[in-house]
Amino acid sequence: MPQDEQSRLRAAAATYASLDPASRTALRAQFEALDASTRHGWRLGPTLGIDYPRLQPLLAQVPPDEQQPLLQVLRAMTAPDRDRLAVLVQRTPPQAREALRRALMSTSDANRSGWLELQLER
């Protein structure tokens, strides 16, 4: 996880620790009430956690050795590019998502935004 996200998580943990026990219990109950997929997404950190429900179909069947590289690519993307990717993921049939993921991973950071735009125009 990037340093800025780690800092945000440490600050959130400090805030959580400073809450009274009833407030911590209530927050924990809210988190536990989320479905397992959503909880998993938030464990990826604040940047990807917010986008996880929309990107989950792309992340669902990633081989273990490709998970970290994919997460690094997603974290390096801008929020608007992750929005574009989310639309693209939803438009892509399940059987074509692996090819989408591989194409995403093979596109350089400098070209990714343009590549996403082209994919959405198809």
pTM: 0.79
pLDDT of residue 98: 94
Which residue segment(s) compose the domain that 88 sits in? 52-121
The answer to the question of residue 78 being in a domain is: yes
- DSSP letter, residue 60: T
What is the DSSP annotation of 23-51? HHHHHHHHHHHS-HHHHHHHTT-HHHHHH
The answer to the question of residue 42 being in a domain is: no
Return per-residue pLDDT of the chain as tens, 122 residues: 778 888 888 998 899 899 999 999 999 999 999 888 888 888 888 889 889 999 999 998 899 999 999 999 999 999 999 999 999 999 999 999 999 999 999 999 999 999 999 999 98
The answer to the question of residue 20 being in a domain is: no
Please count the residues of the chain. 122
The answer to the question of residue 45 being in a domain is: no
pLDDT of residue 37: 83
Contact 101, 58 (CB under 8 A): yes
The answer to the question of residue 71 being in a domain is: yes
pLDDT of residue 2: 76
